[in-house]
């Protein structure tokens, strides 16, 4: 005859469901990461301070980055209710092509310095998820290798126009030969921004193994092992370099670049062309007249000019000035799927992530990048459902208020 105590234990077992332990440490830490900030925390624990700060930091006092992130935090959504959102789609078109998500992996230099899978992880995950992948001029994987690992993907090449135009043309031709979908011309890098974390860390490429570096990196066993046992860190599109990041950028960047150079690129590149780093409406209008497919609103993730304009706040006035003929893309500060949805509601066609993807890379390589995208995708779907929206085409500016708009309205009322 069962006792009352055994009956209670049986009832307790039926009520509680015990979570099975995840034995694989990488799978465990990525499974328990439910936000991009969680991935950032893991990345910080696993990556030496120099490479981590290269991703995490921004220029000077890092005001541009903090303001961009705060702009997303200050958003007030205005949701509809009593709408059928049982089926929600994130499918979209960008430059005439179909994508599963309104999100791309932005160009980030030196990726293999942060984690040895680097651009291979980004390109393969983007291909798998139905997203575009952008390879930086300062990438540590070659144009041809990216095309090899993601042969059916939408691969884009980000170009810093060099002082030596022939070398720039060589890169453009390599991207075309490799079947890259589009070219991204970055125009906000006339000179390297003052990234003070990098200066304080003495960051060089390849990373310098000083006594301080060795001591700080020692606990990061996986990074250390990969750094010593994998292929040497080199630039796939450049010659070898043994100096600081800022020195390299100042050697490469051309402060004489003008609209005439953009027109030249438009002539030599037949594919889709985006111009990245636009921060003024009048510049967007002038660039659009050069026949580009898209304007990419960006302050370079806050890594160039500090106290730069907030890309989110530029979307609506730029859309008003350009109409619907030219696409508007946006980045900087996107750490949540709701940030993506808000950008699209304001009038952007497409969004791109840099740090969010890199935190995933540092947290767990290819699996970490995949986890970052999964987190953002889940957040996007949930945000749309809670807004009463089932398709991206239903996103409109009236669904989103920003702190800036509310402040302007209040100021007009007082007048």
Among residues 346, 348, 335, the alpha carbon closest in space to that of 294 is found at 348
The pair of structure tokens assigned to 144 is 């041809």
Q: What is the pairing mode between strands 204-205 and 243-244? A: antiparallel
Q: What is the dihedral of CA 338, 339, 343, 344, to 10 degrees?
A: -30
How far, in Å, CA of 385 to CA of 31, rounded? 24
Active site residue 300: yes
The pair of structure tokens assigned to 242 is 């043994």
Cβ atoms within 10 Å of 67's Cβ, excluding its own:
21
Q: What is the dihedral of CA 370, 393, 296, 122, to 10 degrees?
A: 10
SS3 category, 273: strand
Q: What is the DSSP string of 186-244?
A: E-S-SS----HHHHHHT-EESPP--HHHHHHHTT-HHHHHHHHHS-----SSS----EE
How far, in Å, CA of 348 to CA of 97, rounded? 16
What size, in residues, is the chain?
415
Among residues 265, 267, 272, 269, the alpha carbon closest in space to that of 93 is found at 272
Say which residues have a Cβ less than 8 Å from residue 301's Cβ, sequence separation at least 6. 58, 65, 331, 332, 333, 354, 355
206 cis-preceded (ω within 30 degrees of 0)? yes
Question: Left (φ > 0), alpha (ψ -120 to 50) or beta: where does 161 sit?
Answer: beta
Catalytic residue, candidates 37, 45, 80, 300: 300
For 159, the enclosing helix (H) or strand (E) is strand 154-159
Contact 297, 314 (CB under 8 A): yes
The catalytic residues are 300
């Amino acid at each position: 005859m069962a006792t009352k105590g055994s009956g209670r234990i049986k009832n307790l077992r039926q009520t509680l469901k015990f979570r099975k332990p995840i034995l694989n440490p990488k799978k465990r830490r990525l499974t328990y990461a439910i936000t991009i900030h969680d991935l950032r925390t893991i990345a910080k624990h696993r990556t030496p301070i120099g490479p981590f700060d290269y991703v995490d930091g921004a220029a000077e006092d890092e005001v541009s980055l903090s303001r961009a992130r705060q702009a997303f935090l200050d958003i007030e959504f205005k949701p509809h209710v009593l709408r059928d959102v049982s089926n929600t789609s994130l499918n979209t078109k960008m430059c005439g092509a179909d994508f599963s998500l309104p999100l791309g992996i932005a160009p980030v230099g030196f990726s293999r310095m942060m984690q040895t899978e680097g651009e291979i992880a980004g390109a393969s995950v983007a291909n798998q998820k139905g997203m575009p992948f952008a390879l930086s001029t300062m990438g540590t994987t070659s144009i041809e290798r990216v095309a090899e690992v993601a042969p059916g993907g939408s691969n884009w090449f980000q170009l810093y126009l060099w002082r030596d135009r022939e070398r720039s043309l060589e890169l453009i031709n390599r991207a075309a030969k490799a079947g890259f979908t589009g070219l991204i011309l970055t125009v906000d890098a006339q000179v390297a921004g003052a990234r003070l974390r990098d200066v304080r860390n003495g960051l060089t490429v390849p990373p310098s193994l000083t006594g301080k570096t060795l001591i700080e990196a020692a606990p990061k066993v996986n990074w250390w092992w990969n750094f010593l046992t994998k292929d040497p860190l080199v630039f796939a599109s450049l010659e070898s370099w043994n100096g600081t990041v800022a020195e390299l950028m100042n050697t490469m960047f051309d402060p004489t670049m003008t609209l005439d150079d953009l027109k030249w690129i438009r002539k030599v590149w037949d594919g889709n062309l985006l111009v990245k780093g636009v921060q003024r409406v009048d510049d967007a209008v002038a660039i659009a007249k050069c026949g580009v497919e898209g304007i990419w609103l960006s302050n370079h993730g806050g890594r160039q000019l500090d106290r730069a304009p907030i890309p989110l706040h530029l979307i609506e006035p730029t859309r008003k000035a350009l109409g619907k003929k030219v696409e508007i893309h946006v980045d900087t500060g996107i750490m949540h799927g709701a940030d993506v949805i808000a950008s699209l509601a304001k009038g952007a066609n497409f969004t791109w992530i840099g740090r969010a993807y890199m935190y995933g890379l540092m947290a767990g390589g290819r699996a970490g990048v995949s986890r970052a995208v999964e987190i953002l995708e889940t957040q996007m779907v949930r945000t749309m459902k809670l807004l009463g929206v089932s398709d991206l085409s239903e996103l409109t500016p009236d669904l989103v208020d920003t702190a800036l708009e509310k402040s302007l309205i209040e100021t007009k009322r007082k007048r």
